Chains A and B, each alone.
Chain A
Amino acid sequence: MRVLVFFITSLILTFLPTCCVAGDFIPTVYVYSGDMPGFGEELVELLDGSIEGFEFVAIGDPTLLSSLMPMPDTACIVLAVMKGKEVETLITPLITYFMEGGALLGFQGCLSLNTVGELARVGFPVFGNATGPFTVKGGVPVNEYVRGEDVPGFADLPDQFDLLGQFYAYSANSSKDPVDPRPATGSKRVVYRDESTGAPMIVSYENDAGSRSISLAGFFVRPTETARNYYGKLLGDPLFKDLMVDCISWTLDGATRAKRFATTYEDMIADERERRQGLIQTAERNKSDLQRRRMLLLAIAWAVGVVSMVGLVYLGFFRNSG
Chain B
Amino acid sequence: MPRIDPKLAVIMSVAIILSTLVVLTIFRVDQPEDITVLRNRAPEVFVKESAQKGIETVFSFGALSGREMEEMVLKFSILYQEPPPYDDGDWQPGEDTGLEELVSHIPIITMLETKAMALGGDVEVIERDLEINGTVYSSIFYDFSGFLGIFNEEEDLSRWTTLFAVLKSEDSVRFFKGRTGFFLSQDEVVKYLMVSYNDNKSEYLGSEIPDAPFGILRYSHLSKDDKVTLIFEVLSQVDQLPEIPLGAKDRLILQLIKGYADGELSVFLVNGVPMG
Q: Residues of A with Cβ closer than 8 Å to B?
A: 20-25, 61, 63-64, 66-73, 92-93, 96-97, 100, 257, 261, 265-266, 268-269, 272-273, 275-277, 279-280, 282-283, 286-287, 290, 294, 298, 301-302, 305, 308-309, 312-313, 315-317
Cα-based distance from A34 to B156 in the complex (angstroms)? 24
Does A309 contact B151, Cβ atoms closer than 8 Å? no
Contacts of B17 in A (CB 8 A): 305, 308-309, 312
Does B159 contact A282, Cβ atoms closer than 8 Å? no
Does A282 contact B70, Cβ atoms closer than 8 Å? yes
Cα-based distance from A66 to B184 in the complex (angstroms)? 14
Highest count of chain B CB atoms <10 Å: which of A20, A93, A277: A93
Contacts of B70 in A (CB 8 A): 279, 282-283
The answer to whether the Cβ of B38 comes within 8 Å of any Cβ in the partner chain is: no
Does A268 contact B71, Cβ atoms closer than 8 Å? no
A276 to chain B, nearest CB (A): 4
The answer to whether the Cβ of B135 comes within 8 Å of any Cβ in the partner chain is: no
Does A20 contact B120, Cβ atoms closer than 8 Å? yes
Q: List 6 A-B contacts (CB under 8 A).
A: A63-B108, A67-B108, A68-B112, A70-B151, A298-B24, A301-B24
Cα-based distance from A286 to B261 in the complex (angstroms)? 13
Which residues, 156 to 174 on B, are CB-close (under 8 Å) to A? 156-157, 159-162
A-B pairs under 8 A by CB, number: 132
Cα-based distance from A22 to B120 in the complex (angstroms)? 6
Chain B: interface residue total (CB-CB under 8 A) = 52
Q: Residues of B with Cβ closer than 8 Å to A?
A: 6-7, 9-11, 13-14, 17-18, 20-21, 24-25, 28, 31, 67-71, 85, 107-108, 111-112, 115-122, 144, 147-148, 150-153, 156-157, 159-162, 177, 185, 261-264
Cα-based distance from A128 to B119 in the complex (angstroms)? 39
The 8 Å CB contact of B162, one of A70, A261, A273, A275, is A70
Does B10 contact A317, Cβ atoms closer than 8 Å? yes
Does A25 contact B119, Cβ atoms closer than 8 Å? yes
Contacts of A68 in B (CB 8 A): 112, 115
Does B120 contact A283, Cβ atoms closer than 8 Å? no
* Minimum CB distance partner of A271 in chain B: B150
Does B119 contact A72, Cβ atoms closer than 8 Å? yes
B245 to chain A, nearest CB (A): 14
Does B120 contact A23, Cβ atoms closer than 8 Å? yes
Does B71 contact A67, Cβ atoms closer than 8 Å? no
Contacts of A275 in B (CB 8 A): 263
Cα-based distance from A257 to B11 in the complex (angstroms)? 79
| A305-B21 contact in complex given A72-B119, A265-B151, A272-B150, C-beta closer than 8 Å | yes
Contacts of A315 in B (CB 8 A): 6, 10
Does B67 contact A312, Cβ atoms closer than 8 Å? no
Does B21 contact A302, Cβ atoms closer than 8 Å? yes
The 8 Å CB contact of A316, one of B9, B85, B157, is B9
Does A64 contact B108, Cβ atoms closer than 8 Å? yes
Cα-based distance from A92 to B189 in the complex (angstroms)? 14
B175 to chain A, nearest CB (A): 11
B84 to chain A, nearest CB (A): 12
The 8 Å CB contact of A72, one of B151, B156, B177, is B151
| A269-B156 contact in complex given A61-B108, A67-B108, C-beta closer than 8 Å | no
A218 to chain B, nearest CB (A): 30
Cα-based distance from A44 to B31 in the complex (angstroms)? 58
| A23-B159 contact in complex given A70-B151, A313-B14, C-beta closer than 8 Å | no
The 8 Å CB contact of B264, one of A100, A283, A290, is A283
Contacts of B263 in A (CB 8 A): 275-277, 279-280, 283
Cα-based distance from A294 to B32 in the complex (angstroms)? 14
Contacts of A100 in B (CB 8 A): 152-153, 156
B146 to chain A, nearest CB (A): 8
Contacts of A273 in B (CB 8 A): 122
* Minimum CB distance partner of B179 in chain A: A66
* Minimum CB distance partner of B115 in chain A: A71
Contacts of A70 in B (CB 8 A): 148, 151-152, 156-157, 160, 162
Cα-based distance from A56 to B21 in the complex (angstroms)? 71
Cα-based distance from A309 to B261 in the complex (angstroms)? 43
